[in-house]
Amino acid sequence: MNKFFKLSFLTSLLVLISIVFLNMLDSKVTVSSFGAIGDDQKEDTDAIQKAIDFQSDHGGGVVILSKGVYLIDSVKSLILKDNITLKFKKGAILQAIPNKADNYEVVRIKDVKNVTLTGDVNIKGDRLNHIGKTGEWGFGISITGSENIKVENAEISNCWGDGIYIGSTEIKGYSNQINISDVTLINNRRQGISIISAKNLEISNANILNTNGTAPESGIDLEPNFSTEYLENIKITNLKTENNSGYGLQIYLKNLRGSINPVSIEIVTSNNLPDGFYVGEYEGIEGKILIEDFFTHILE
């Protein structure tokens, strides 16, 4: 009986630990529980970060933004961590506080994995009230050196630079397994989306409007900074652009000259690009670029 009792106790304990662990992984917290107000008056950066950090310290989970306008110090940024889902309820807005910085990120996703932004995502930059006059790197969402990242059902507008930036870090030379779907990007100053270094990136149902202010001013720009970066297995489907000062879609590969990393880029359903597309400096670049029936480059 004694041995049976001990075995039953250990079994029950293991079951309890498993249940607690699963609940932790599926846990949800609201930012209001950590002091965020969302009244368009008080800065909420630290309160929201506390909610993110709490979930991270417990293995990850969901952080919920209820309806409201949350003022964010975008120079400090909201720093997302492994296994975090940031869920926006309808009417929840992250609003960048006006600053004079050349670069900022309202949401920073850097060197992490398994992050999702979902719900009714709404992020507004400070372009309309930006204090400075220089720089072009104020981002709504920055994804660098990260893996398994999802951004869905998002509207990102009025950023000093790009709505979404996807690139590398010193730790990791690319972002991997990135999925961007059902996004609208409006009146961002440099780009709707910049793709600098990525593997296994899929963008679907993006609608990009009114990009203007500083070159290239394109809807989507695929343009590595260094020959060590990647444009591998990039797929863009059902892209719509309108009234961008640059191209609807731009691929510029000058900085990949001499690279040992072949490109693979496929654009499907590119009929909705009244701004047109441009492919430049691709001669001698190994790999494949396919833009439906309009453009093909294959060098192996």
Q: In this structure, is residue 24 part of a structural domain? A: no
24 φ/ψ angles, rounded to the nearest 5 degrees: -65, -40
Q: Are 238 and 209 in contact (CB under 8 A)?
A: no
Answer yes or no: is pLDDT of 61 > 60: yes
Any domain includes 3 = no
Chain-centre distance for alpha carbon 37: 24
Q: What pLDDT score does 219 carry?
A: 98
Give the whole-number percent of the chain exceeding pLDDT 70. 91
State the CATH number of the domain containing residue 54.
Answer: 2.160.20.10
Amino acid 16: pLDDT: 44
Going by C-alpha positions, the residue among 79, 207, 217 that lies closest to residue 153 is 207
Reply yes or no on whether the pLDDT at 23 is more than 80.
no
Q: For residue 105, what are the β-bridge partners?
A: 139
In a domain, 278, yes or no: yes
pLDDT at residue 26 in the model? 55
In terms of Cβ atoms closer than 10 Å to its own Cβ (0-12, 13-18, 19+), residue 82 is middle
Residue-level pLDDT at 269:
74
What pLDDT digit, counting tens, does each position of 176-212 carry? 999 999 999 999 999 999 999 999 999 999 999 999 9
Does 202 fall in a domain?
Answer: yes
Please indicate, yes or no, if residue 11 is contained in any of the structural domains. Answer: no
Instruction: Output DSSP code: residue 238.
Output: S
The pairing of strands 277-280 and 249-252 is: parallel
Residues 223, 254: Cα–Cα separation, whole Å: 8
Domain-embedded: residue 19: no
Residue 18 lies in a domain: no
Residue 254, SS3 per DSSP: helix
Domain count, the chain: 1
Give the three-class secondary structure for 22.
helix
Order of strands, sheet of 277-280, starting from the edge strand that comes earlier in the sequence: 78-79, 103-110, 137-144, 162-167, 191-195, 218-222, 249-252, 277-280
Is 13 a member of any domain? no
Write out the residue range of the structural domain in which residue 213 sits: 30-299
* Phi, psi for residue 13 in degrees, rounded to 5: -65, -45
**Tens-place pLDDT, residues 101-130:** 999 999 999 999 999 999 999 999 999 999
Report yes or no: 115 and 78 within 8 Å, Cβ to Cβ.
Answer: no
